[in-house]
Structure 1
Amino acid sequence: MSDVARPFTVALPTDQELVLKVIPMPADCNASGDIFGGWVMAQVDLAGAVLPARRVKGRIATVAVNEFIFKQAVKVGDILSFFARIVKVGRTSVTVQVEVFAERFALQGQYIKVTEARLTYVAIDKQGKPCPVPEA
């Protein structure tokens, strides 16, 4: 391992749930050869929906991307781990914090945080109208 990689390596969170693991492929690259930010955003949205869907036990829809920070580029072959935790439950909404860690192909077992985001989902009924989030 090079000294350049060490300052960025972190331990994986223990206070959040692993909700998704994925490996980006060459088809997911942008013109610069890194993974396209929109692809990462889509994966974060999927990962972020896991805990609210469990809580609601029904349909949900993404209503807000409250914050989205790209900290490091994502590379082809990185093993991405998406961790999430519910940070707020409203009457019809659930807000989730998602953190994404990359295990670089050449640095197996070492992780760097590449993205973090906060998203809000709303519970919806069969007609697509907001409905109350059930009590935990």
Structure 2
Amino acid sequence: MATDDSVHPEARGLEVVIRTAPMPADANGNGDIFGGWILSHMDIAAGVLAAKRAQGRVATVAIDAMTFLKPVYIGDLLSIYGEVVGVGRTSIKVRLETWVERQRRRDGSLTARQSMRVTEGTFVMVAIDEEGRPRVVPEA
């Protein structure tokens, strides 16, 4: 699933779904942002895209792939980009990339702003009805 880091996701047609900044409470003792914090934001982003396509409620049923490529630090601006890559009878597959804009080195000193891909993953969501049972995804 690796992508070309020289081409920003928006240039490849991916939609920005979430943009946020990690805070000190989201970091471990070394100043790295917890992978679970990033994963939870990616899960939300997958849900946003899948719910739009499903025209209603969805739930996560699987994460087909998840790769942490580089650490995320306090002060990074985190952006999650995604696209729907598959639709089944009740399921929707969403591919996500997380990028950061980084202007500070780990020691806190300023550097030229850099944009880099830090994670990527593929989430499988299922469309659900009011009782939480799978339902058919409507035609696009």
Check whether the contact 1:16–1:84 (CA below 8 A) recurs between aligned residues. Answer: yes
Match of residue 11 from structure 1: 7
Q: How does 1:1-136 map to 2 (within 5 A)?
A: 10-13=6-9, 14=11, 15-106=13-104, 107-108=112-113, 110-136=114-140
How many residue pairs end up in the alignment? Answer: 128
Check whether the contact 1:61–1:124 (CA below 8 A) recurs between aligned residues. Answer: yes
What's the TM-score once normalised by structure 1's chain length? Answer: 0.89
- Report the Cα offset of residue 32 of structure 1: 2.5
What's the TM-score once normalised by structure 2's chain length? Answer: 0.86
Residues 68-112 of structure 1, C-alpha deviations (whole Å, 9 max, x = no match):
00000000010011110111100000000000111003343x311
Q: CA RMSD in A?
A: 1.5
Residues 44-71 of structure 1, C-alpha deviations (whole Å, 9 max, x = no match):
1011112111111211000001100000
- Report the Cα offset of residue 119 of structure 1: 0.2
Check whether the contact 1:52–1:60 (CA below 8 A) recurs between aligned residues. Answer: yes
Check whether the contact 1:65–1:120 (CA below 8 A) recurs between aligned residues. Answer: yes
Structure 1 unpaired stretches of 5+: 1-8
